[in-house]
Structure 1
Amino acid sequence: MKGDEFGMVWTSEGKLGTRFLLLWLLLFAAWRAGSGQLRYSVPEEAKHGTFVGRIAQDLGLQLAELVPRLFRVASRGGADLLEVNLQNGILFVNSRMDREELCGRSAECSVHLEVLVERPLQVFHVEVEVRDINDNAPAFPVKEQRMQIYESRLPGSLFPLEGASDVDDGSNSILTYKLSSSEYFALDVKTNRDDDAHIRLVLSKPLDREDTPEHNLLLVATDGGRPELTGSMQVRVTVLDVNDNAPSFEQSEYEVRILENSENGTSVIRLNASDPDEGSNGEISYSFNSLVSPVVLAHFHIDPATGDVTVRGSLDFEHVNSYKILIDATDKGHPPMAGHCTVLVKVLDTNDNVPEIVLTSLSLPVKEDAPLGTVIALISVSDRDSGPNGQVTCSLEPHVPFKLVSTYKNHYSLVLDSGLDRESVSGYDVVVRARDAGSPPRWASASVRVEVADVNDNAPQFAQAEYTVFVKENNAPGCHIFTVTAHDADAQENARVSYSLVERRVGGRALSSYVSVHGESGRVYALQPLDHEELEVLRVEVSARDAGAPPLGSNVTLQVFVLDENDNAPWLLARGSGGPAGAAVAASELVPRSAGAGHVVTKVRAVDLDAGYNAWLWFELQAAPAGGARCPFRVGLYTGEISTTRALDELDAPRQRLVVLVRDHGEPALTATATVLVSLVDGGQASPSWSRASVAAGASASASASAGALGGASSLVDVNVYLVVAICAVSSLLVLTLLVWAAARWSSGAASEGACVSGPAAAAAAALVCSSAVGSWSCSQRRRQRVCSGEGPPKADLMAFSPSLPHGPTSTDNDNVSFK
């Protein structure tokens, strides 16, 4: 491999030493790469494509991952001086680099690169040293310097000359001076501790203006580079006559220090020169030398009479940190003579610059499930001051889930320090504060808004786990019965909720044949008319799912209670089997003429498929017997028992037709009719007919009671009266207790409007509904309690008693009338 690939200048004498130096530099670069920083070296003015280093290999990166991981290089100034070939990972020179333009006269010059690699984000710092080459020749500030020297000056007199400058560095800027051959003048060069050369022209022998009025000299400056470069200045010396003593200073060079930003008029130094001459030849005037730069003239002023140098304008350490001032002290002789000195003004730094903060490579927004240590942003800080005034530390304002991690010098990474929850805090205003070490310290701050991106970590939630819904039966198909609403704490698509029905079987049919759910609004519709007699409670489960990936969801249960309406007329039970016989029935009964008052002829049995008040039946005679005589029969209002109201006599018609009307309590009321044909017969013929009537009506009397003599009826009547009185008393006490208990429950707000009641409350409600002014009393109501509980078989039929009716010896008071 050729040496110019590494940007090095090879010489035939130093090949072995240069190879050793190259090996050492490579080892040093590898060590710096392992420690987090790479350092390369390249000469200035290197051509485009000059090899700098194998940066990908030195950073431990694979060539195949450079492009996928978005490998890129950024320099501090933003210039593309260096570039990386992503195919082979080689760092090469992209454009011309002039060390003097980049770093001026700084002893060290390097280009700082930030190498950024994404997925995951990594930051590497690379410094490329720009080595100086001898590409600048020494230059004098003027092409010609004119000097006036009196002929009276003695040999050995010194006259300052302006030296040359070389913007190169190191040995390339070390200058040597040579004066053209002259018998009158020689060159004196001295270097101070700041490596500044003071060049003076030494008078070797006395001058004779009449012999040689002017001397032309050539001052040549040669640098130490290879090859050497030179610069020259013409020195034209005019020999003057007369005044033989020039003013002189105590020192040829003065050094003073002054703080930057000193106020106008601040004294820098007061110079004092002396002249042994008398009169006007000893009067001195101070002035800046004609070679003083315009920068010095803009910032300093000298009093011609006192020699006091003061500040003019403002001094800025960051702009210029030292000034070299040439001062002349000139007497007023004829011709005047001048003495010279140099004042070196060093400007001291003050903490007058605030730190600067730069935020780059922002990875925003940040997902709320981002792992700890995720890099959010890259932060670099700087301070134009020097020393402690330029030392900067960074911190974050408290109470944010982030922290700063130092990566290199004044470079930091803003990383995630604790977990995020967008539902709690959707974003953070992160304030980075930079503080220098000056006295007093100065602060700077920069803020960045870190938005937290949502992830699907919250399932839709219903306000309740279960809702109770009441719907009247015989509803219109497609009617709206309820709306379910679920809320999702996430955002955007993660919070968009859709609803669906959880399918199951209800009575052998699919739930979706009864109800449907609108996917967006959550409105629940009944697809067909509901029948309370077929389905009392419909349990509907609705699922809510969000649109996240993966989706999350939850379910809610609707208990749909189908409320009864009076849509079923009473049904009469057929005799014997007890099965339904329809809305009208006819029966024939034989009654002995010897029957007394209270004799039970038969019992009309009926049921209603409705529930509650709609199923509460009452009975009444609709048609009176023929003949206009007072009807000797009546029917129990709630029992349906047909009995005699008085003793039968010979005047009663032998055949009587009784029409019993059965009516429920619905609105409007529905009815059914039963026709009973009663035949009055003598006592010997009544027994078989009476026995058949009792069996047909479902009576519970025994065979001996049905055939008993009428003479024992009076003794049984007394027993029945006492029994009825006792039952009424107990029933009244129980009803009163239930009323008091229901009132207490009502006042405490335990039962809400439309809510389903069970247990003792249901019993009280049934008692309130079923009690009437005529003295009837109900102990339970099967269908209403079944609706309320939603489970178990029917409890009991409604037991109706009519204590106002007298009972015969064969009374069937305990017969039941069933409601469904």
Structure 2
Amino acid sequence: MEIKEVFVMVIIPKGRLRSRYLLLSLLFLAVWEAVSGQVHYSVPEEAKHGTFVGRIAQDLGLVLEELVPRLCRVASKGSGDLLEVNLQNGILFVNSRIDREELCGRSLECSIHLEVIVERPLQVFHVQVEIKDINDNPPLFLVKEQRVLIYESRLPDSVIPLEGATDEDVGSNSIISYKLSSSEFFALEVKTNRDDNTQIGLVLRKSLDREKIPEHNLLLTATDGGKPELTGTVQLLVIVLDVNDNAPSFDQSEYEVRIFENSDNGTIVIRLNASDPDEGANREISYSFNSPVPPMIIDQFSIDSNTGEVTIRKALDFEKANSYKIRIDATDRGHPPMAGHCTILVKVLDINDNVPQISLTSLSLPVREDAPLGTVIALISVSDQDSGANGQVTCILSPHVPFKLVSTFKNYYSLVLDSALDRESVANYELVVTARDGGSPSLSATTSLSVEVADVNDNAPAFAQPEYTVFVKENNPPGCHIFTVSARDADAQENALVSYSLVERRVGERALSSYVSVHAESGKLYALQPLDHEELELLQFQVSARDAGVPPLGSNVTLQVFVLDENDNAPALLPPGSGSGGGAVSQPVARSVGAGHVVAKVRAVDADSGYNAWLSYELLSEAGSARSPFRVGLYTGEISTTRALDEADAPRQRLLVLVKDHGEPALTATATVLLSLVDSSSAPKASLWATARATGPEVALVDVNVYLIIAICAVSSLLVLTLLLYTALRCSAPPTEGAFEPGKPTLVCSSAVGSWSCSQQMQQRVCSGEGPPKTDLMAFSPSLPPCPVVVDVDERQDLNDRCAKVSLNFHN
């Protein structure tokens, strides 16, 4: 967030208005803190435990009562638990001792970055706490006594460099001033170079005389700029050497060298070249580190005493130290030896040798698949110990996933939801977060994060198909399993737990639940009672599947249960027969009739369907032998003569006709037919009597004259013409619906080579022989369920007879 700077000049007048202006100034400063985008506090180092830092809850706009329920906490990377928040009053206080020098070293800016994290919902606030320096460290010298060697021939105003004091404080607390004890021979010189490094030297005010004063004891006092002031002292022991009056000298007093970190051991940092105008042993120079030598210098560098080459002894690390100041002495071999001095400022250059570090905090998993866009999944922080471009880190997310990284602060990111989730498509995402710095070549680090998607009830149970067709034989045992429905729910756990139930409706006068039931868990359908094909040919209903989600989702499937016919009905004889018990039918027959003359007909029907309703007739009595003058049609039931009758034939013929269906096992009925053979003169009367019996027992015989016969013929002709016209119209009209649609009556005709079915809309064309037979007949397997619907038993028998004839013609 961008931090805005606001400059305010407040003029405080004298008098009673001063307090009001002061209050307005404080309010304006509070507003400036709010718009700055980040809360800043400051606290002095070494503050006691419990020291007030700031009202952090109030400044962040948090409600005190929600701090505990929302799990408010403070996180500080690398700073431990120095600061803490009191969740009761929302005050940020010092929790443990803060040592600024231990925390930040000699850095001018020292602050602790805090993350204030609250959850439900997840929020992150960044707080910067500046640690102010106090003057708690006095100036220190490396040794308690410095030995300074000065030749007596040293010219006045020459400067002998001294090792200055160091102060771990910063700012004004680290500004050191030096004071030398009074001396007529020496004075103190203090200089500040371009790098703000202070160099002190001992200035020779007048020539020395070793014979008079061989040693000089001085006290050097260093005072810092803090309040109160702190001081440090070192004893200077100045030893006056004799007569080598020219000291080696360097081209310049200070050298600056730049070298990359991680350079190989033995790499030459600089090759020094000091000169001495003396001759002989007095000009032979040896090089050495100026004493006292800091341990860090001895650990990192070495110097060749003869060549003056300063080399790397141990690999440099920019992250530990980015500069070194080395003091070098060039000492000749005179008697006494003389030394020249120079300073080498080694600046270590950074290389990209540190891999970025990735830290994951505050994971909020799993993620609901209906989570809104922008939901925070995790907080990610990255760091790199390098500097400059080598320490600038960018984060990317891979592979292509419905998430993205949003930068919330420098090197801080939030992993948020970028697009809608669907657990049924992807239930778990494996994310890879890659942090890459700006070095050349760049270094990168990766970390993996597994994001699980939590299920919500967004899928209804689904059946494999919208409709099922089930075939069940009639007369089934109660409670038998007839079918199993199964629906699949793409959700998980209880959202995918499916239960089944019937969609209740009425079937005729009864409820659907009185016929079938469904098991709620398995989906198995059971027939609760025996089904009767003659009563119910098709049972159509729906089964509902519903899951256990909140709210529950459901779907329906339609089942068509066809009740298959079994041969459970015997053939039934029609009047004027006496039924299946084998009653007698009397019929007069003239002896003059020839062979093939139909003398009687047995009519029967079967309540079953298909093969079970296909009837055949045969003679069982002795009259059915080869000598018998009568026979019965196999499928028509018509009794006809096999030859001309003669006087040898008995006057009364008793025929026993067996009517049998084609079921397995076949069921039968018997009919007794009595034929009376009469002379030709009485044949018309007998014929009229037989016609009367066929029409009904209540019709009386009367004499018929010619006019009555003509009238009857005319009426019959008109009736036949009407029926022919009606049949022609019905056969010419195309059918509007399928022959086997539910509710359409169907006639089934069977034979040894197959079966044929025809609806009542087509039965005239098929059974009367009109039109092409091939287009009007449809073959089907005997196992398929027929759907016969016949209203009138006479009409049904006629259709069976006609279809039997069609079957015979088909065989022929």
Residues 1:488 and 2:489 aligned together = yes
Deviations 1:8-56 (A, max 9, x none): xxxxxxxxx9999999788556534445321111111112222211222
Q: 2:619 aligns with which of 612, 618, 621?
A: 621
Q: 1:660 aligns with which of 638, 641, 657?
A: 657
> In 2, Cα distance between the equivalents of 1:238 and 1:185?
13
Displacement of 1:689 in angstroms is: 6.9
Between the two proteins, the alignment pairs up a number of residues equal to: 745
Deviations 1:107-146 (A, max 9, x none): 1000001122223222221111111111111111112222
Deviations 1:539-575 (A, max 9, x none): 2422222232222222222212111111211122243
Q: In structure 2, the residue corresponding to 1:797 is in which secondary structure?
A: helix
**Structure 2 residue aligned with 1:720:** none
> In 1, Cα distance between the equivalents of 2:701 and 2:41?
129
Q: Which amino acid aligns with 1:620?
A: E
> In 2, Cα distance between the equivalents of 1:72 and 1:678?
116
Q: Tell whether the 8 Å contact from 2:620 to 2:656 is kept in structure 1 after alignment.
A: yes
**Structure 2 residue aligned with 1:639:** 636
Gaps of 5+ in 1: 1-16, 717-722, 735-750, 772-776, 806-812, 815-820
Deviations 1:646-696 (A, max 9, x none): 565555444443322111111211111122344456788877775564354
Q: In structure 2, the residue corresponding to 1:228 is in which secondary structure?
A: coil
Q: Which amino acid aligns with 1:583?
A: S
TM-score, normalized by length of structure 1? 0.81
The 5 Å alignment of 1:669-818 reads 669-680=666-677, 691=688, 693-698=690-695, 769=754, 778=767, 797=796, 799=798
Q: In structure 1, the residue corresponding to 2:207 is in which secondary structure?
A: coil
Q: 1:607 aligns with which of 605, 608, 616?
A: 605
**Structure 1 residue aligned with 2:810:** none
**Structure 2 residue aligned with 1:62:** 63
The 5 Å alignment of 1:451-600 reads 451-575=452-576, 582-591=579-588, 593=590, 596-597=593-594
**Structure 2 residue aligned with 1:236:** 237
> In 1, Cα distance between the equivalents of 2:569 and 2:629?
33
**Structure 2 residue aligned with 1:258:** 259
Displacement of 1:521 in angstroms is: 3.0
Q: 1:789 to 1:648 in 2, by over 3 A?
A: closer
Q: 1:124 to 1:446 in 2, by over 3 A?
A: same
Q: 1:652 to 1:531 in 2, by over 3 A?
A: same
Q: Which amino acid aligns with 1:155?
A: P
Q: RMSD of the alignment, in Å?
A: 4.2
Q: 1:524 to 1:451 in 2, by over 3 A?
A: same
**Structure 2 residue aligned with 1:416:** 417
Q: Which amino acid aligns with 2:166?
A: S
> In 1, Cα distance between the equivalents of 2:483 and 2:672?
48
Q: 1:468 to 1:117 in 2, by over 3 A?
A: same
Q: 1:538 to 1:693 in 2, by over 3 A?
A: same
Q: Tell whether the 8 Å contact from 2:587 to 2:673 is kept in structure 1 after alignment.
A: no
Q: 1:794 to 1:177 in 2, by over 3 A?
A: farther
Displacement of 1:488 in angstroms is: 2.2
Between stretches 343-352 and 446-455, larger displacement belongs to 446-455
Q: In structure 1, the residue corresponding to 2:573 is in which secondary structure?
A: strand
Displacement of 1:315 in angstroms is: 1.4
Displacement of 1:241 in angstroms is: 2.8
Q: 1:758 to 1:46 in 2, by over 3 A?
A: closer
Q: Tell whether the 8 Å contact from 2:589 to 2:599 is kept in structure 1 after alignment.
A: no
Deviations 1:781-818 (A, max 9, x none): 99x99x96979876973546989x9xxxxxxx99xxxx
Q: In structure 2, the residue corresponding to 1:119 is in which secondary structure?
A: coil
Deviations 1:339-358 (A, max 9, x none): 22211111122223232222
Displacement of 1:399 in angstroms is: 2.2
> In 2, Cα distance between the equivalents of 1:20 and 1:172?
34
Q: Tell whether the 8 Å contact from 2:591 to 2:677 is kept in structure 1 after alignment.
A: no
Q: 1:25 to 1:38 in 2, by over 3 A?
A: farther
Q: Which amino acid aligns with 1:607?
A: V
Q: 1:479 to 1:450 in 2, by over 3 A?
A: same
The 5 Å alignment of 1:138-287 reads 138-287=139-288
**Structure 2 residue aligned with 1:117:** 118
Deviations 1:589-621 (A, max 9, x none): 251655624665543322111110111112222
Q: 1:418 to 1:801 in 2, by over 3 A?
A: closer
Between stretches 64-73 and 657-666, larger displacement belongs to 64-73
Residues 1:100 and 2:101 aligned together = yes
Provide the identity percentage: 70
**Structure 2 residue aligned with 1:745:** none
The 5 Å alignment of 1:20-35 reads 30-35=31-36
Q: Tell whether the 8 Å contact from 2:657 to 2:672 is kept in structure 1 after alignment.
A: yes
Q: In structure 2, the residue corresponding to 1:342 is in which secondary structure?
A: strand
Q: Tell whether the 8 Å contact from 1:616 to 1:665 is kept in structure 2 after alignment.
A: yes
Q: Which amino acid aligns with 1:329?
A: A
> In 2, Cα distance between the equivalents of 1:629 and 1:341?
153
**Structure 2 residue aligned with 1:739:** none
Between stretches 684-693 and 165-174, larger displacement belongs to 684-693
Q: Which amino acid aligns with 1:81?
A: L
Q: Which amino acid aligns with 2:694?
A: A
Between stretches 63-72 and 111-120, larger displacement belongs to 63-72
**Structure 1 residue aligned with 2:77:** 76
Q: Tell whether the 8 Å contact from 2:592 to 2:679 is kept in structure 1 after alignment.
A: no
Displacement of 1:433 in angstroms is: 2.6
Q: 1:329 to 1:801 in 2, by over 3 A?
A: closer
> In 2, Cα distance between the equivalents of 1:496 and 1:348?
66
**Structure 2 residue aligned with 1:740:** none
Q: In structure 2, the residue corresponding to 1:273 is in which secondary structure?
A: coil
> In 2, Cα distance between the equivalents of 1:792 and 1:630?
42
> In 2, Cα distance between the equivalents of 1:425 and 1:704?
93
Between stretches 236-245 and 80-89, larger displacement belongs to 236-245
> In 1, Cα distance between the equivalents of 2:629 and 2:600?
14
> In 2, Cα distance between the equivalents of 1:439 and 1:656?
125
Residues 1:135 and 2:133 aligned together = no
Deviations 1:312-366 (A, max 9, x none): 2211211110001011111111222222221111112222323222222222222
Q: 1:299 to 1:147 in 2, by over 3 A?
A: same
The 5 Å alignment of 1:360-375 reads 360-375=361-376
Between stretches 174-183 and 583-592, larger displacement belongs to 583-592
> In 1, Cα distance between the equivalents of 2:744 and 2:574?
32
**Structure 2 residue aligned with 1:389:** 390
> In 2, Cα distance between the equivalents of 1:267 and 1:629?
139
Q: Tell whether the 8 Å contact from 2:745 to 2:788 is kept in structure 1 after alignment.
A: no
Q: In structure 1, the residue corresponding to 2:97 is in which secondary structure?
A: coil
TM-score, normalized by length of structure 2? 0.82
**Structure 2 residue aligned with 1:742:** none
Q: 1:118 to 1:695 in 2, by over 3 A?
A: farther
Displacement of 1:266 in angstroms is: 2.7
> In 2, Cα distance between the equivalents of 1:22 and 1:161?
54
Q: Which amino acid aligns with 2:484?
A: T
Q: Tell whether the 8 Å contact from 1:778 to 1:799 is kept in structure 2 after alignment.
A: no
> In 1, Cα distance between the equivalents of 2:786 and 2:655?
42
> In 2, Cα distance between the equivalents of 1:21 and 1:258?
54
Q: In structure 2, the residue corresponding to 1:274 is in which secondary structure?
A: coil
Q: 1:416 to 1:165 in 2, by over 3 A?
A: same
The 5 Å alignment of 1:85-96 reads 85-96=86-97
Q: Which amino acid aligns with 2:549?
A: G
Displacement of 1:287 in angstroms is: 0.6
Deviations 1:206-263 (A, max 9, x none): 3343433333222221111111111222222233333233222232222222222223
Displacement of 1:504 in angstroms is: 2.4
Q: Tell whether the 8 Å contact from 1:603 to 1:697 is kept in structure 2 after alignment.
A: no
Q: In structure 1, the residue corresponding to 2:796 is in which secondary structure?
A: coil
